[in-house]
Amino acid sequence: MAEQQQQVKTDWKKWLTHKWVVQNIPFFLFLALLAVVYIYNGHYADKLARRISNTEKHIKELEYEYKTIKSEVIFRSKASELVKAVTPLGLKELTKPPVTLPAENR
């Protein structure tokens, strides 16, 4: 059994020669390229996740701003608020309904 283990240990040394390494350089370069692409992809995914998170925060801020402005517009468009806003300009609220002019012969 010890002889068989000794044979297995030296068996892989037959394959690992200078000629074998030189022949497989393109494969090693391919593996290195795959490792670089894998690392780049991880960094790109992290950066993309950060950008998405920042965009979501920005969208929420804009949504809150929109709701605030919309409520302000609704509040200012009430009849009582409009009267308060146009009083300094000398405009007054109508007390009688508007008069319609008769249509002439067309």
pLDDT exceeds 80 at position 1: no
- Cα–Cα dist 17/72, whole Å: 80
CA distances for 27 relative to 8, 20, 31, 35, 65, angstroms: 25, 11, 6, 12, 57
The tens digit of pLDDT for each residue in 29-58 reads 999 999 999 999 999 999 999 999 999 999
pLDDT exceeds 80 at position 106: no
- Span 67-95, mean pLDDT? 88
Contacts of 93 (CB under 8 A, 6+ apart): 83
Q: Residue 86 has what pLDDT? A: 86
